[in-house]
A and B are shown apart, each in its own frame.
Chain A
């Protein structure tokens, strides 16, 4: 068991610690808890550059803008999961979820 003296020393040390100070350090530590990034929003992921053009392509297919955007997000999420599925063993459930979202979205389209 930790002695009271040791506990007090730990608390003093913890108060002195202020975490990363530089911008680079803060940026680095901001993703400390990230495991694979498959649950993050597409709008903050590396796939976001495709969003605009994909939405435009779907709009040219006769979808209205909000529907096209939602479908574009589902497609990008599915593609992200397909890519990760090949590399990550435990990404199966994320791929399954992304596929479900895509199929549900397609079923609800008003074309």
Chain B
């Protein structure tokens, strides 16, 4: 059975990562925006660094940048969701007087939590809408904003792919060479029982 990481182990890992010299720290990069959890960011970054096995300064920097791209993609996805939800609430209130309007902030929070309360059900019935039709209408109304966010996500994906590829090429090259040498040795060993002589090709 694998051991679950305790909060102490996460904390000690974070401290170890924080103490190591870092390019981002040198440049004073603040990766989180107001309202975001620094602990959550650090915990997820530490996990990625551990997964990639990043040890050197440059490895950690590339891991941080990869994580930043993933974080931005998550942000944009959340932004898309918030955009559609806010528009759905606006559509529910469109053309209604102040007295008959539903409370926007509360409704938005309910919808963002993937819930539909009695008030929203009633408003939908009154307006002859279903939840799906309202969402579709909101997406059509906000398509330019969604397109813009999709472009940003695509940009982050492109940067992410480049960073991942350079991490692979720059740091896993040695590991790949060793892996190939081991595979060759294994092949050579397997060829002996078949009485086929392995021929070493000289490198150009």
Q: Give residues in A with beta carbon < 8 Å to B.
A: 50, 53-54, 57-58, 60-63, 71, 75-76, 78-79, 82, 92, 95-96, 99-100, 102-104, 106-107, 109, 111
Distance to closest chain A CB from B179 (angstroms): 18
* B140 on interface, CB distance cutoff 8 Å: no
Whose C-beta in chain B lies nearest to the C-beta of A92?
B155
Q: Across the interface, do B56 and A61 meet the contact criterion of CB distance under 8 Å?
A: yes
Which B residues lie within 8 Å of A92 (CB)?
151, 155
Most chain A CB atoms below 10 A, which of B57, B62, B165: B57
- Secondary structure of the A contact surface, majority rule: helix
| Known A96-B158, A96-B159, A107-B165; contact A79-B27, beta-carbon cutoff 8 A | yes
The CA-CA distance from A50 to B58 in the complex, in Å, is 16
| Known A106-B58, A111-B170; contact A95-B162, beta-carbon cutoff 8 A | no
Whose C-beta in chain B lies nearest to the C-beta of A53?
B26
Q: Across the interface, do A96 and B26 meet the contact criterion of CB distance under 8 Å?
A: no
20 A–B contacts from the bound complex (CB under 8 Å): A50-B26, A53-B26, A54-B26, A54-B27, A57-B21, A57-B23, A57-B57, A58-B57, A75-B23, A76-B27, A99-B159, A102-B162, A102-B163, A103-B165, A104-B166, A106-B167, A107-B165, A107-B166, A107-B170, A109-B170
